Structure 1
Amino acid sequence: MSDLASHESVARKPRDVPTDSRSKAWGLTAILVALYTVNYGDKVVLGLAAQPLREEFGFTASQIGLAGSIFFLALTMSGLLTGVVSRWGSLKWILAALAIAWALCMLPMIFAASLAVLIVSRFLLGLFEGPSSALIHTATYSWHPVAKRALPGAFITSAASISKILVAPALGWVIVHHGWRAAFVVMSLTSVLWCAIWLTSWSPGPYGAEHDASVTDPDGTSTASPIRWIALIKTPTFIGAALAVFSFYTLTSVILTWLPSYFEKGLGYSRLEANTMFGIPSMVALVAMFGTSFLGDRLMARGVSSRIHRGLVPGFGLLACGIAMVSLPYIGSPAMVVALVSLGYGLGTIVFPLFNAAISEICPRDKLAGTLGIFLAFMTAGGLIGPYVAGRIVDAAVNPADGYALAFQLIGILALIGASAAIVLVDPRRDAQKIDTLVRTATH
């Protein structure tokens, strides 16, 4: 028996898999991609509205950055509670409730905008969005086996790129022609529409814990894994991947909050041009994510160690990203800056689907939601410092161009550190075997 087969056999082996599951799996994956797109749209809208808010209310860059960081504080706090939230009900109803909560969080700024309202509403939005990433990935993975999770993970992660390529320009057009409040209305209504589709479509997948809960073992024993979350968190794979995604998410949070402003105020593009170019880095990211994820799943199926395609590949991608960001202050051409940001961000983005798949590889299925929640909470902690620190740097700089370039350079140094940790530590197959040994020891 191969290592992968052995790994699947411990608390992971699916039963009663329907013959038509592949088409249904990808259909439900598409619906979950749509939810994650809405999720990122809620994040993107603040970056698009940053300059109109500054002009209407006189907000400083530091105040806008503070609102962004407060959002990520709440996101991190509630992400740590994903394991608890996942026990409150089925994925169907939990995700529907979260989406409705996002819609409600858009309303205060529409009717009573102020700095205090902005901060409170972004904090509440972060609280309700915190568990969603891990739960969306858990729901998606429940329809895909361990060896084939990088590609569906890339589709889920692509929601961020879809938001920047399609949603951001659309919201930018809405803001230019109808005002920033109209963009908040659009995002609120979109969440409600998604719920209507979701509630009539979802059913648990054959590779998830919910499927296990609906199946009675012949001997009446529990299918729950005896492994505690702390054992999973202490693995080198978790530690190295967490450091890597923390550093890259710091960059992501700054891009979500400040990239349109960088293009407009720092590089001299018009507001509509800046909002439209917001999607260029994500176009590169889509190519990189789908290319590496498709190749990674093919290599995984052929028995190639996941140390290579779920460890070294994303590690070196993040390394290239860090080098690109560190180089920004030395580039004089606005077009070259856009190109370098796009290339660096695109290569760095592959850490999301590949490291998420790596974490799913080492986890018993009943521990996946909670472990991913903790992992993604570490990731989003990067958003606590990114937007606010970048805002302070811009406010203190001689001119916006220098301020933005310096902020991205500092984050590039952080990315180099995270990449080095991932390259050295991440080896999912090794750690999966260790976890399976602990499971067998505890159950015999």
Structure 2
Amino acid sequence: MTHSTATLDAPVDIGSESRRRAWGLTALLVLLYVVNYADKAVLGIIAQPLAQELGLSSSQIGLVGSLFFLTFTVGGFFAGVLNRWMSLRWALVLLALAWSVAMLPLVVAASFVVLLGSRLLLGLAEGPSSALLHTGAYSWHAPAKRGLPSALLAGAASIAKIAVAPALAFVTVTFGWRYALIALSVIGVVWCAVWLTAWSEGPYIRSGKSATTDADGDAEEPAVPWSRIFTTRTFISGALLVMSVYALVAVVLTWLPSYFEVGLGYSRLQAGSMFAFPSIAGLILMLLTSVIGDRLLVRGSTSRIVRIIVPAVGVLICGAILLALPSIDTPALAVLVVSVGYGFAASVFPLLNSAISEICPPRQTAGTLGVFLAIMAVGGLVAPYATGLIVDAASSPAAGYATAFQALGLVAAVCAVLALILANPERDKKLVRGDSVGSTR
């Protein structure tokens, strides 16, 4: 039997016990995303001692950060493929184990080539994970109530920097940078053991090889050509917006502790601990906008207002704040400006991800988000390396970092204006799903 889009999007009564299970499994997915971001952020934590031991320049560290996002972008396009090849349970185990393995070569044989190779492997394995994690969480939450789970997943980056980064900084300072990598490898393996015993898929999205058929073998929902989704104005302008903000995220992950230590004069342990400040601001604003947004959607507000206008305005505020950074001489005020600017931009991720999941048929969520997030990661390809070049060429590290953040804020503000003009999830949902023909196979 073929179901309509309206039926597919309708709330499913899964009971209070299942609601608890839904949030428990969402928490488990968030935990893996925390590990994911900790694996990314560890390069920023160990950058200075690693550079001193291996004799690396800022541009070389930046190049490693950028090339990570090259394979990360490529890997993102395989999210839909993995979603069809195997169940979500085993796809995430495969990826998490690959992250753990990628941590270890540098521990055994430290060199620039090994550093580069391990980060390239890590990027390839992390690329598909975001789309699959969102798909898993969305399988337990109705479309109108995905803002909060999206915010919790996006907030994993903040949690990693708030809770994990200071611990990694302590381990690095106390025991050496190799032990930080070993700790992350062990955490990944432990998560896999818990995941295998706990996971089951929710009722809103089903993945795997049988995703497009019901028990009778009939099509359970119509599929649409991928080009119809990827050419909507919401997808294009949304991708440009998250790409520009992700460039800022990539620079923060790669360079923020170095900025605080070398640029602003804080100690290594202080810099690693202060890594959390932008993330605290980001997490608070993401949770607020997402919770309030979900309630507004239930009460009749449009997705364009909640999931496009609100985050785009936040990015405009971020751009305005970061433009002032080069003129600030007080270290504490510079930390505040970067933290607040980052916080206002961070809400773009959960809200835009929810908007994109809204315009595509449910069973095409993993593939759609995979491409969307892979395009997003392009922002990380250029920004860390460009920041390293700017810092090497600047009159001082502080001036170089401030100029790089200023440029990132300006680009993000321009992309926010484009999204305000072009993006409209309600309109593009009708365009994509209104005449559902063809097949994704």
Shorter-chain TM-score: which interval?
Answer: over 0.9
Aligned to 1:81: 78
In structure 1, the residue matched to 2:413 is: 416
Structure 1 residue 8: Cα displacement: 3.4
Cα distance, 1:330 vs structure 2: 1.1
- Offset of 1:280 from its aligned partner? 0.5
Structure 1 residues 416, 115: CA separation in 2 closer, same or farther (over 3 Å shift)? same
Range with greater deviation from structure 2 (40-49 or 422-431)? 422-431
Match of 1:248 in 2: 245
Q: Distance in 2 between matches of 1:299 and 1:131?
A: 31
Note the alpha carbon deviations across 1:377-419, whole angstroms, 9 max, x for none.
1111100001100001101111101111111111111111111
Q: 2:363 corresponds to which residue?
A: 366
d(CA) in 2 for partners of 1:393 and 1:232? 37
Matches within 5 A, 1:297-316: 297-316=294-313
Selected match of 1:228 from 225, 241, 247: 225
Contact 2:5 2:361 in 1 (8 A): no
In the TM superposition, residue 213 of structure 1 has moved relative to its aligned partner by: 4.1
The 2-side partners of 1:217 and 1:184 are apart by 44
Mapping for residues 307-386 of structure 1, pairs under 5 Å: 307-386=304-383
Change (3 A) 1:271 1:219: closer
The range that moved more, 95-104 or 18-27, is 18-27
Superposed, 1:4-83 pairs within 5 Å as 8-9=6-7, 11-13=8-10, 17=14, 20-83=17-80
SS in 1 for 2:435: helix
Structure 2 length-normalised TM: 0.96
* 2:344 maps to amino acid: L
Report what 2:168 is aligned to.
171
- How big is each residue's C-alpha offset from its partner over 1:207-230, in whole Å with a ceiling of 9 and x where there is no partner? 012399489748642124330111
2:394 matched residue in structure 1:
397
Contiguous gaps of at least 5 residues in structure 1: 1-5
* Alignment-mate amino acid for residue 384 of structure 1: L
Whether contact under 8 Å (2:134, 2:150) holds in the other structure is yes
Q: Give, in angstroms, the shift of residue 17 of structure 1.
A: 3.9
Give the 3-state SS of the residue equivalent to 1:207 in structure 2.
coil
**Gapped regions of structure 2 (runs ≥ 5):** none
Q: How big is the shift at 1:16?
A: 7.8
| Partner-residue secondary structure (3-state), 1:281 | helix
The letter for the 1-side match of 2:60 is: Q
Q: State the identity %.
A: 53
Offset of residue 206 of structure 1: 0.4
Counterpart of 2:121? 124
Asked if the contact 1:250–1:386 (Cα under 8 Å) also holds between the matched residues in 2, the reply is yes
RMSD over aligned CA atoms reads: 1.9
Rate the CA distance shift 1:213–1:366 in 2: closer, same or farther, 3 A. Answer: same
Q: Which amino acid aligns with 1:103?
A: S
Shift of 1:326: 1.5
Tell me how far apart the structure 1 counterparts of residues 253 and 340 of structure 2 sit (CA, whole Å). 16
| Distance (whole Å) between structure 1 residues aligned to residue 437 and residue 298 of structure 2 | 25
Contact in 2 for aligned 1:12/1:364 (Cα 8 Å): no
SS at 1:67 equivalent:
helix
Assess, with a 3 A threshold, how the Cα gap between structure 1 residues 54 and 219 changes in structure 2: closer, same or farther: closer
Distance, in Å, in 1 between the alignment partners of 2:75 and 2:213 is: 32
Please state how far the C-alpha of 1:14 moved relative to its aligned partner.
6.9
Which amino acid counterpart does residue 430 of structure 2 have in structure 1? Q
Secondary structure, aligned partner of 2:155: helix
Quote the Cα distance in structure 2 between the aligned partners of 1:429 and 1:135: 24
Query: What corresponds to 2:98 in structure 1?
Result: 101
Matched residues, number? 437
**Shift in Å at residue 260 of structure 1?**
0.4
1:153-302 aligned within 5 A: 153-210=150-207, 213=210, 217=214, 220-302=217-299
Any idea what the Cα deviations from partners look like across 1:327-370, whole Å, max 9, x if unmatched? 11011211111111111100100000000000111111111000
Matched residues in 2 for 1:440 and 1:70: separation?
A: 39
- Asked whether the equivalents of residues 205 and 211 of structure 1 are also in contact (C-alpha less than 8 Å), the reply is no
CA distance in 2, matches of 1:217, 1:53: 53
CA distance, structure 1, for counterparts of residue 39 and residue 242 of structure 2:
21
Shift of 1:27: 0.2
TM-score by length of 1: 0.95
Residue 124 of structure 2 aligns with an amino acid whose one-letter code is: L
Q: Distance in 1 between matches of 2:214 and 2:74?
A: 36
Aligned-partner SS, 1:143: coil
Detail structure 1 runs of 4+ shifted over 6 Å in the superposition.
none
AA aligned to 2:151 is A
Provide the rounded CA distance (Å) in 2 between the counterparts of 1:12 and 1:97. 30
In the alignment, the residues of structure 2 paired with residue 261 and residue 220 of structure 1 have an alpha-carbon distance, to the nearest angstrom, of 56
Q: Does the Cα contact within 8 Å between 1:254 and 1:386 map onto a contact in 2?
A: yes
Instruction: Check the 8 A contact 1:69/1:383 in 2, yes or no.
Output: yes
Q: CA deviation at 1:88?
A: 1.4
Q: Distance in 2 between matches of 1:440 and 1:116?
A: 49
